[in-house]
Amino acid sequence: MINHKGLLYALEVCRDGSVVKAAEKLYISQPNLSKMIIALEDEMNVQLFNRTPKGMIATHDGKLIFRYAEEIKRQTDFIESYCEKVTSHSLRMSLAVTWADYISEAFTQFLEKYNDKKNIEFNYIETDTEDIINKIVYSECHIGIIRCDKKYDNNFRRFFDLHSLTAETLCEAECVAGFAEDSFLAECEKLTKDDLRSFFEVRQSKNFVPYVSESQLRSVSDELPGKIIYVSDSMAQAELVSRNSGTYMIIPPLSPETLKKYKLIQKDVEGMCRESIDFFIRSENYALTKTDNAFLDELMISKRKYKQEVLL
């Protein structure tokens, strides 16, 4: 069976004539995209491209296959749209989100309403920003919530427009330093950048921003001194900081419940100016279902509570 996702990725390479440009649009690495195309050609036993100094040129067979692939994509989009309309009355929901306590609380409250229901299918994925965006763009999930540095707000909005995504601002917050209860930092009456100099900052490894490479982000991303540890996701970030008194993380403020759960303390850092922004995103072609809206109602309640009890 042909790898459907790989075929659509190859179609994007055909459109751009470049693996590099296609990888940038698809937000995957160029080596991984190249491997996917080679694997697809091996699977189909057909050479799809001629590799030339001017770029990737579709072969005669490739051009024919990509004409069919264009039709497959149109039909797939139509089927997904139709099925969503047909099943809009059913209890189905598929969402990918960043790790944030007000989001997980909203989902918990949302689930309580359906304890006595049958035939429910909820797909709730906590992952990084790049993965969330890919899942929405390629319809693996219908709705998503991402978190980004506010200074890159325009980068993300340009990306949303280019990829026909609807985006609504959910929450903005000034970041704080979070660290273990037994950390020396807990004894500082006023926390400064210099206090952090001898500690490891724990960050997520996939610090994705459209039109900015990860190496560029690492070179210009912060005004804080010290050493850095990269981890896979936000939960791993919190776990590592909670277990190591020589570490800290820069994050939006956490709720008292989450701080207690991970045995963390959070404080403002004098002179630091770093803000986060959370976006609710979906495809422009996707119509929210009743189930989606029921979750969003809980999300708005949880967000208001978070703003009143944590941010104010």
CA separation for the pair 43, 135 (Å, rounded): 24
Q: For position 150, what pLDDT does the model report?
A: 94
Is 156 in the same domain as 203? no
The answer to whether the beta carbons of residues 281 and 136 sit under 8 Å apart is yes
The answer to whether the beta carbons of residues 5 and 45 sit under 8 Å apart is no
CATH code at position 95: 3.40.190
> φ, ψ for residue 282 (rounded to 5)?
-165, 165
Is 160 in the same domain as 287? yes
> 3-state class of 14 per DSSP?
helix
170 domain-assigned: no
pLDDT mean over 242-265: 94
pLDDT band at residue 224, thresholds of 50, 70 and 90? low
pLDDT, one tens digit per residue, over 64-89 is: 998 888 888 888 777 777 666 555 44
Q: For position 73, what pLDDT does the model report?
A: 81
Domain boundary among 38, 61, 85: 85
134 domain-assigned: yes
* Nearest alpha carbon to residue 125 among 143, 109, 112, 111: 143
43 domain-assigned: yes
Q: For position 55, what pLDDT does the model report?
A: 87
Is 72 in the same domain as 25? yes
Is 236 in the same domain as 150? no
- Rounded to two decimals, the pTM is 0.69
pLDDT, one tens digit per residue, over 143-187 is: 999 999 999 999 999 999 999 999 999 999 999 999 999 999 999
What's the whole-number average pLDDT of the chain? 88
Is 66 in the same domain as 114? no
Supply the DSSP string of 278-311, one letter for each residue. Answer: EEEEEETTPPPPHHHHHHHHHHHHHHHHHIIIII
Structural domain of 42:
4-85
* Nearest alpha carbon to residue 14 among 29, 2, 27, 25: 25
Is 19 in the same domain as 65? yes
Instruction: Please name the residues in contact with 100: beta carbons below 8 A apart, sequence gap of 6 or more.
Output: 145, 147, 234, 252, 278
171 domain-assigned: no
Is 159 in the same domain as 291? yes
Name the domain count of the chain.
3
pLDDT mean over 262-273: 93
Direct distance between the N- and C-terminal alpha carbons of the chain, in angstroms, rounded to an integer: 55
CATH code at position 76: 1.10.10.10
Is 66 in the same domain as 9? yes
Is 158 in the same domain as 306? yes
Is 182 in the same domain as 151? no
The C-alpha angle with vertex 128 and arms to 124 and 134, in degrees rounded to 5, equals: 80
Is 73 in the same domain as 34? yes
278 domain-assigned: no
